Amino acid sequence: MTQGIPVEMAGFTDLFRDLEEYVVSLDRVLSRIGAGADPRLLLDYVVEHEIPSRLARAREFVGDSLERVIGAEALEKIAEQVEGYRDRN
C-alpha cells in the first residue's frame, strides 16, 4: 500500500495554472515566430509576464514541498544534477 504525500492544494493549483499559461502561450508565441514574426516576441512575452520571477516562485514552492518529504540533502542532490545555460562562445 502506498502512502499519499500531503500537498498544499492552493499552491499546486497556482502552479498548475501558471504552467498551463506557459505551455499555451509559448506554443502560440513560437508558432507566430515560426510563421515569420519577429523573434523578440518571445522576449517580450517573458519580460511582460514576469516569467523568471514566477518560475523562481514555482521552484521555491516545489522545492519546499519536496524537502518536507525527501529532506534537504536529497533535494540538494537533485539540484546538483541540473545543467544550466552555457554560453556557446
- pLDDT tens per residue across span 63-80: 999 999 899 999 999 999
Helices marked H in 35-70 — which ranges? 40-48, 51-70
CB atoms within 10 A of CB 40: 10
The tens digit of pLDDT for each residue in 24-63 reads 999 999 999 999 999 999 999 999 999 999 999 999 999 9
pLDDT of 31 reads 98
Residue 8 is predicted with a pLDDT of 86
State residue 1's pLDDT score. Answer: 45
Per-residue pLDDT band at 7 (split at 50, 70, 90): confident
CB 7 within 8 A of CB 65: yes
Helices and strands: H and E segment counts in the chain: 4, 0
Helix (H, G, I), strand (E, B) or coil at 21: helix
Q: Where do the structural domains in the chain lie, given as residue ranges?
A: 9-78
Distance of CA 70 to the CA centre of its chain: 20
Contact 41, 33 (CB under 8 A): yes
Global confidence as pTM: 0.83
Asked whether 88 and 31 are in contact (CB, 8 A), the reply is: no
Question: What band does 3 get if pLDDT is binned at 50, 70 and 90?
Answer: low
More confident of the two residues 85 and 7: 85
